[in-house]
Structure 1
């Protein structure tokens, strides 16, 4: 492959970071087993951090962010994949220190890729992306802990964001009553589009459930995407034997709680990591996302964008103004 390809390139000059859509050479990509022509990517909080020069996400620049990609194998040096196969890549080092899905091509190890499950288009795969995988891993943990719809209400924080919105929609589709915790007044989106049963404003949630060492048991389980007082409030308000998953820190990266939820109610706090999750679990969750977990309203939860839209959308995510998911469609698809 000799043709140039377009990408959003982040450059560092004297400690300042710039975003530029640029034509790049495939020779600039790492030489891994798979060369993939990217048709779709998606926009995540981690991408926004990488695009601002956050060295905790990306160590060296210039860099092409994009921790998600779905596309077609152009060249394979692995027996696991053939040219022409549709694949998706999420997590591992993609978009962090390996150039990612904000470019029209990526080169990755075969161990990072997964064949696109039947029943899922490339666009749908990126409508889920890392956010959908993280939501799916969270729900997977709840179900494996024995949580059923009849056990009671499930609290989901950051409910208008990527992980939260998908978690609400999947839970609602599968018969759970969801209390959506959000700082945004998005009643139609949360109740009508996603299927939540009620909305709890973020400040009200903290004031109600995070002021005492233990609160009245209200929720069968919780999915927290923001951290801080929302997470501690969920733990304090979860029924006996319940479980709360934690996957984010946009509100805070610390946790202030007592041991009471754990030793008096047997509550479990389960950490969710989508970066290095084992491939067999990824495969199981992606198969569910492609079938019984796929929300009928998935297309209404996303906004399809182009490369030229990316800088604005990255800023919106950092400012907490995003709703649902942004899916990047490359022009050559």
Structure 2
């Protein structure tokens, strides 16, 4: 289960298929029949290895939310802009401001017939909080798409400049059209970090409020360094032992020119060759049995199979860090790291003796 993204990206999801045959992500609402998932993700999310999970389905309010999402994406209307501002304020650090925004959002929803909250006040507040979470995650997805498009444009410009200068120097090989543009990582900035905190809070709110079915075996993965650090810090504050490093595994990099069908065939052959290694790794990913690190011989087998199935001249790769946290459940750790006062189901302790978390990053 990838967090806090609600729209999966091929460059993040495809490499993980060396580890498993199915990728899950949290969807804010039931699938849009009109296909407005955004940013060209429609084809990718319909592939058989992609599995969306809707923690809290909207039911009858689905069409209304989808209409609001389309307004947010097209940046049309004061109504959509107002909802965006209220959603962000409701997930801020002030519990008083959050409650006021929750009430205001619920009033807006009722006045436009977009909400069917239960009569009980607690149910109404819970519904408003979940609507806020969905809206923040949608805003975050829009920001991701815009940032990704800009970074790809900059990478293309950079590649064209390098090719031009190489041609002027007479270096025909470097000036050729096969040069692969490198998409720079998203820069760290205070505004982006604040938005990430809000998205993590919103994602946790939806995930915790959903059904417990299947959650016990979720392997939670992120590519956000600050999210990873907050989880580690929260485990320390809860008095948990230091997490056990299960493994650091290298993964292939997915480029814009990568053919998904070819990549999937190689991934299937990779998993078949390393069936024994993956069988020994699975109990750690599912937090079953004693916490143990993957043997050095298994990591060596992984690296050899990676070179065999994904030969490349790239100077960079992806690294997946897998760590097993003990004496804490996934829900309690997520709450401690990201939840806000007043979030739904926050006071309910969950059963569990540990959770395996993954952090994926690009290294050179």
Q: What TM-score do the two structures reach when normalised by structure 2?
A: 0.23
Q: Which has the higher strand share?
A: 1
Q: What TM-score do the two structures reach when normalised by structure 1?
A: 0.24
State which structure, 1 or 2, has the greater radius of gyration over its C-alpha atoms: 2
